[in-house]
Structure 1
Amino acid sequence: MLPHKTKQFFFVLIKLSIVVAAFYFIYHKLVNNNELSFYDFKENIIKNDAFSPKIIIFLILLSSFNWFFEILKWQNLVSTQEKTSFKQATNQTLGSLTASLITPNRIGEYGAKAMYFTKNLRKRIMLVNLIGNLQQMSVTVVLGIIGLYFFVSKYNLDLNYYRLSKYTTIGFVLICLIIFILRKTKFIFKGFSIEKLKMFILNFQKTNLSIGFLLSFLRYAIFSFQFYFLLQCFHVEIDYFNSMIGITSMYLLASIIPTIFIFDVVIKGSVAVYLFSFLGVNELIILCVITIMWLLNFVLPSIIGSFFVLRFKMPKTIINS
């Protein structure tokens, strides 16, 4: 057994490593972006004279509301398992964002959030986090499908519909096959059978689920409007409707592509450049908008979250008398 002080030292070292790794990847992404160099990014902003102090404050305010609703959603969902204050929810949400920044598809968020709770609650906390992510994904998919329908109807996309339908059919058959196998077998993951997982979701408080969907929609409305507002800052002459069908289509396509989260900006950039080329928007402007969105909605809260990571303490186990 290691001495208590040695354990404390290693615990502090782990927290510092998480923060340093997050900052390094953010720096690396900004400086070594193959699609948009930091020099081009800076020069394009200066050339377009896009940002006055009032605009910067408004953009930060939009990002603040984006994360305010995400924190509120987490507090609403997790309070079904343990009473959680808004301050605690803020700590858990932003701290786990920093810890998961460099993990594929933010998978590290599940474990990071669970660490804020006692051992007997951690499995359920991971399931609550899954529900929250599924809610946000559902909003993205539903609005994205509507947007993509209008986009395809209005613009002549160069799509191979035979290949698209073939892969869609294969994907659908595979999903049905997986569901069938899981239903017929007693599959257990981390102590949770599929049946228990299904019952956990079905028995989840309906009021909390409804509030979660509402907050997910509000978040989506805010960051999609923020994207549109940034286009206006770069003097892009495009109306709100056409912007939204491009934005919703972009978030749909980008969300279904597996990626390491730190490179999420690259994936969204590639998809956005392709889609907005049909709307006549300059590639450099789109890449700048994507980068600014990433800085405002992930880098900035991650920097704040690093403070919570450094202050993190393992929860004390409650012993029933």
Structure 2
Amino acid sequence: MNSPHFRRFGHVILAIGLLGLLIWQISSQEDLLKTWSEFKSMDFTKNIFYLILALLLMPINWGIEIIKWKNLVSTIDKITGRQSTYAVLTGISMGIVTPARIGEYIGRLSVLTPEKRPPGVVLMFINSLAQNIINIFFGIFGILYFLDDYYQFDDVKLNQYFVAVCLLSILLISLYFNIRKVVAVTQKLPLPLFLQRWFKKLDLIQNVSNKSLVETGIYSLVRYFVYFLQYCMILKFFNLDLGISQMMAGIATIFMVQSGIPLPPLSAILARGEIALMVWGMYNLSVSGILAATFTLWVINLIIPALFGIAIILFTDYNSNSYEND
């Protein structure tokens, strides 16, 4: 049942299934079709440079994530850049069509041997936490800008908000740099037997050094700025005129809100659109332009990489039990 022919057949079925789900997910959204109609009716020839730049930044965006994942996984196992690419892109493909992005775990962990997948789950948590800390850090200042400039909160309320989010940030950073202690303490708790067995497999997490955590944070920071620049280019492409401070605060706020809200597959793009309307709507910008910008960024950063991931599943055979890491 684990023959190359059987695995090949399984990969073909999986790729076709993912492609079908992806097409269904997009076509089932009536608002997206309306947005696409708006997109086609506009003349953007003079701004095409911004779209091209946003597209060129996409492989840089995910290339950083691939390097970051390889660097983090190297603390428990040696994987090649090709394997990390496979893990990240197939994770995008599976995650975008599954509830709570469960499929992303399957893709990311597929290049690890079974005994290293439990610590791999913790590494995914570390990886996600690093990115969310960056999102929250900049989001703090973005929201402060809106509270002061648009809602005109008094100084007392602003200070209360600032203290609250700073405490949250400190808590998350403390958790991030003490994840090894958290795992060690959890392993000693009187948990159900099946959980004890699972947590016993997490000893490799002790190999994750502070140096690796700092490097992961730096990669997350660089990726944040790449994604930030992409968003700026898309806003320029759709002639959504904003001042630099408004743009910086708005994008930071959107990233922070998106990172704190779980987005189910079928409503992900609609939720992103609602968040964008909530933020950019304060400046009386074109609703169709805001939705089109959100949709375009979604296609560039998720749909296109997901299609590459499906192609990789179709044409590449990685079996974690059958290869040896270099």
Superposition TM-score, scaled by structure 1 size: 0.80
1:129-158 CA deviation, whole Å, 9 max, x = no partner?
221111111111222222112112211299
TM superposition shift of 1:295: 0.7
Paired with 1:157 and 1:271, the residues of 2 have a C-alpha distance of: 20
| Residue segments in structure 1 that go unaligned for 5+ positions in a row | none
CA shift in 2, pair 1:200/1:87, >3 Å: closer
CA distance in 1, matches of 2:66, 2:77: 15
Structure 1 residue aligned with 2:318: 313
Deviations 1:81-101 (A, max 9, x none): 122222221111112221222
Please report the RMSD computed on the Cα atoms of aligned residues, expressed in angstroms: 3.3
Report the counterpart of residue 147 of structure 1 in structure 2: 142
Question: What SS does structure 2 have at the residue aligned with 1:35?
Answer: helix
Unaligned runs of 5+ in 2: 172-181
Residue 19 (structure 2) aligns with: 23
Structure 2 counterpart of 1:226: 230
Map 1:2-17; keep pairs closer than 5 Å: 8-9=5-6, 11-17=7-13
Give the counterpart of 2:39 among 41, 44, 52.
44
Query: Aligned pairs, how many?
Result: 298
The AA in structure 1 aligned to 2:21 is F
Paired residue for 1:245? 249
The SS at the match of 2:31 is coil
> Is the CA contact (8 Å cut-off) linking 1:95 and 1:308 kept in structure 2?
yes
Q: Cα distance 1:80–1:268, how it changes in 2: closer, same or farther (>3 A)?
A: same
- SS at structure 2 position matched to 1:135: helix
Aligned to 1:133: 128
Relative to structure 1, the CA distance from residue 298 to residue 204 in structure 2 (aligned partners, 3 Å threshold; closer, same or farther) is same
Matched, 1:289 2:285: no
Q: Give the fraction of aligned pairs with identical amino acids, expressed as a percent.
A: 22
Matches within 5 A, 1:164-183: none
User: Partners of 1:298 and 1:190 in 2: how far apart?
Assistant: 36
| Cα deviation 1:156-211 (Å, max 9, x = unaligned) | 299xx9xxx9xx9xxx9xx9xxx9xx799523637344x986x8666521111111
Instruction: Verify: 1:60 aligned to 2:55, yes or no.
Output: yes
Q: 1:255 aligns with which of 246, 254, 259?
A: 259
The aligned residue for residue 214 of structure 1 is 218
Structure 1 pair 27–219 and aligned structure 2 pair: CA distance change class (3 A): same
1:71 paired with 2:71, answer: no
| Alignment TM-score, normalising by the size of structure 2 | 0.79
Asked if structure 2 preserves the Cα contact closer than 8 Å seen for 1:231 and 1:289, the reply is yes
Q: Is the aligned partner of 1:93 residue 2:88?
A: yes
Pairwise CA distance, 1:317: 5.5
Post-superposition shift, 1:277? 0.7
Does structure 2 conserve the Cα–Cα contact (< 8 Å) formed by 1:96 and 1:109? yes
Question: Which has more helix, going by share of residues?
Answer: 2
Displacement of 1:18 in angstroms is: 2.9
Q: Residue 270 of structure 2 corresponds to which residue in structure 1?
A: 266
Matched, 1:191 2:197: yes
Asked if structure 2 preserves the Cα contact closer than 8 Å seen for 1:50 and 1:234, the reply is no
Assess if the C-alpha contact under 8 Å between 2:75 and 2:207 holds in 1: no
Name the CA distance, whole Å, in 2 between partners of 1:196 and 1:142. 33
Structure 2 letter corresponding to 1:24:
G
| Per-residue deviation, 1:262 | 4.9
Going from structure 1 to structure 2, the CA distance change for 1:105 and 1:44 (only over 3 Å counts) comes to same
Could you tell me how far apart the structure 2 residues matched to 1:184 and 1:231 are? Answer: 51
C-alpha deviation, 1:243, in angstroms: 1.2
- Decide whether aligned partners of structure 1 residues 35 and 65 sit closer, same or farther in structure 2, where only a CA change above 3 A counts: same
Q: CA deviation at 1:276?
A: 0.9
d(CA) in 1 for partners of 2:220, 2:260 = 18
The amino acid of 1:36's aligned partner reads: L
* Whole-Å separation in 2 of the counterparts to 1:250 and 1:108: 24
Larger deviation: 81-90 or 291-300?
81-90
2:75 aligned counterpart, secondary structure: coil
Given that residues 89 and 308 in structure 2 are in contact (C-alpha distance below 8 angstroms), is that contact kept between their aligned partners in structure 1?
Answer: yes
Question: How many Å separate the matches in 1 of 2:152 and 2:276?
Answer: 14
Structure 1 position 8, deviation (Å):
4.2
Matched with 2:113 is 118
CA distance in 1, matches of 2:70, 2:109: 14
